[in-house]
């Protein structure tokens, strides 16, 4: 969805236009569910988080800043809802090698996306994915969130800053630290990743 389309949809939502909220849910439901799943690692919990996040948006759309990005605002709502949900349930994400969509920048860390290389390749890929999941479980919530938004959802650094309500410098710092910790966990020795916009 283009920035202009996003702004138009936001205006329609704020006005309470019939059908706008349904259109909004249709446009964003896959991204919202994907992000919720990355935090919860559970289908039922991801659906719960998605529903609650959309209801929060519906109830608070009147407070949305028209100059802000609807996409970034939605990501902030989803991240906060997922974190609240995890805290309430008193559990951390379970490992699931099949659960990781998206792609990574060229920093020596790769998700498992291709399972066509035979049994040995699948076993190696599953082991690598488990290591990535273990590494993500060991970093701070904020580092993990920045890492997921950048590498799994392709948000640029400015969008992440807007989604989390933090400075661009903080985003760069969290991203750098998360990558270094994950590289260490994976035994990757590579030149430090330069986070791009």
The CATH number given to whatever domain includes residue 34 is 1.10.1740.10
| Distance in angstroms (rounded) separating the CA atoms of residues 11 and 80 | 24
Q: How far, in whole angstroms, is CA 102 from its chain's centroid? A: 10
Contact 145, 96 (CB under 8 A): no
**If you average pLDDT over residues 76-97, what whole number do you get?**
71
Quote the number of domains for the chain. 2
Dump pLDDT digits (tens) for 147-189.
888 888 888 898 888 888 889 999 999 999 988 888 887 777 6
Q: Whole-angstrom Cα distance, residue 128 to residue 185?
A: 11
State whether 121 and 52 are in the same domain: no
Q: How far, in Å, CA of 26 to CA of 169, rounded?
A: 33
Residue 57 has pLDDT above 90, yes or no: yes
Q: pTM for this structure?
A: 0.66
Select the more confidently predicted residue: 4 or 96. Answer: 4
Beta strands in the chain (DSSP E): none
Q: Which two tokens stand for residue 39?
A: 């935090």
Sign of the torsion formed by the C-alpha atoms of 76, 128, 183 and 151: negative
Range of the domain at 128: 100-197
pLDDT on residue 98 = 40
Q: Decide which of 76, 94, 112 is a domain's last residue.
A: 94
Same domain, 78 and 140: no
Owner of token pair 């994907």: 34
CA–CA distance, 10 with 33 (Å, rounded to integer): 20
Q: What is the mean pLDDT of the chain?
A: 79
- pLDDT for the residue numbered 102: 38
CA distance 192 to 190: 6
Tokens 């349930």 map to which residue? Answer: 89
CATH value at residue 147: 1.10.10.10
């Amino acid at each position: 969805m283009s920035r202009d389309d996003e702004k138009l949809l936001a205006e329609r939502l704020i006005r309470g236009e019939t059908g706008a909220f349904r259109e909004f849910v249709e446009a964003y439901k896959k991204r919202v569910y994907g992000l919720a799943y990355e935090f919860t690692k559970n289908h039922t919990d991801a659906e719960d988080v998605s529903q609650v996040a959309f209801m929060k948006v519906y109830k608070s759309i009147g407070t949305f800043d028209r100059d802000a990005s609807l996409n970034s605002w939605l990501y902030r709502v989803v991240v906060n809802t997922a974190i609240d949900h995890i805290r309430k349930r008193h559990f951390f994400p379970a490992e699931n090698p099949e659960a990781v969509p998206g792609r990574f920048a060229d920093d020596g860390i790769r998700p498992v996306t291709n399972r066509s290389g035979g049994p040995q390749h699948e076993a190696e890929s599953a082991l690598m994915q488990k290591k990535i999941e273990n590494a993500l479980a060991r970093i701070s919530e904020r580092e993990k969130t920045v890492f997921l938004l950048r590498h799994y959802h392709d948000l640029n650094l400015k969008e992440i800053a807007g989604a989390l309500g933090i400075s661009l410098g903080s985003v760069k710092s969290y991203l750098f630290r998360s990558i270094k910790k994950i590289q260490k966990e994976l035994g990757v020795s590579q030149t430090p990743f330069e986070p791009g916009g």
